[in-house]
């Protein structure tokens, strides 16, 4: 019996030491990714789709995944840059349902005759509102570069730098 107790103690101690050792290790860092963009060229030269690597003073650096190469695009040739964003409908829906459920629980009154109706109406309405806000946050952002004044062009390039992999 004493051996079994010692084995459990040793196993528990070793597990504890292992967990504490692993908890002190640094977490692996993720590489920052640039946003997916669609660059529309002037004079019908086509479009370039890919990851925005950097925004320079006179060029855009875009990694075209289909061609498996980076492209340097002169700003004079760019008509519009569209930043593609992921839709957040599902996240908004879940957050809205959670908030609606909390509100329904808080407002629940046992003495009321139709007290359970709040659980059937509040969470779906809050979930719908959350899903709508999630959908609105996923709208693609467009930056027009052709024909813009130098001040507007500078502002658009500064805003576009936020979506690049290399922001400096």
Domain boundaries, the chain: 36-84+140-161, 89-136
Architecture per CATH, domain 36-84+140-161, reads as Roll (2.30)
pTM of the model: 0.64
pLDDT of residue 116: 77
pLDDT of residue 1: 46
**Which tens digit of pLDDT belongs to each residue from 98-122?**
999 888 888 877 767 777 787 888 8
**Which tens digit of pLDDT belongs to each residue from 61-70?**
889 887 888 8
Q: Using alpha carbons, list the distances in angstroms from residue 91 to 4, 99, 101, 121.
A: 49, 12, 15, 20
Q: How many CB atoms lie within 10 A of CB 79?
A: 16
Residues of the chain under the 70 pLDDT cut: 1-6, 20, 25-30, 111, 168
Work out the burial of residue 106: count CB atoms within 10 Å of its CB; fewer than 13 is exposed, 13-18 middle, 19 or more buried: exposed
* Spatial CA neighbour of 161 closest among 36, 56, 48: 56
pLDDT of residue 128: 92
Q: Where would I find the beta strands (DSSP E) of the chain?
A: 36-41, 47-55, 59-64, 69-74, 78-84, 141-144
pLDDT of residue 46: 82
Q: Of how many residues is the chain composed?
A: 168
């Amino acid at each position: 019996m004493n051996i079994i107790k010692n084995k459990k103690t040793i196993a528990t101690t070793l597990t504890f030491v292992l967990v504490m050792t692993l908890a002190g290790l640094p977490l692996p860092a993720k590489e920052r990714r640039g946003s997916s963009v669609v660059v529309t060229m002037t004079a019908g030269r086509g479009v370039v789709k890919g990851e925005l690597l950097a925004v320079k003073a006179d060029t855009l650096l875009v990694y075209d995944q289909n061609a498996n190469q980076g492209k340097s695009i002169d700003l004079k040739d760019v008509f519009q840059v569209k930043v593609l964003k992921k839709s957040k409908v599902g996240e908004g829906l879940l957050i809205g349902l959670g908030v609606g459920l909390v509100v329904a629980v808080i407002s629940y009154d046992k003495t009321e005759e139709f007290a359970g109706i709040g659980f059937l109406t509040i969470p779906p309405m809050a979930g719908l509102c959350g899903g709508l806000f999630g959908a609105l946050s996923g709208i693609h952002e467009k930056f027009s570069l052709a024909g813009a004044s130098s001040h507007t062009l500078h502002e658009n390039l500064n805003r576009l730098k936020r979506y690049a992999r290399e922001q400096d």
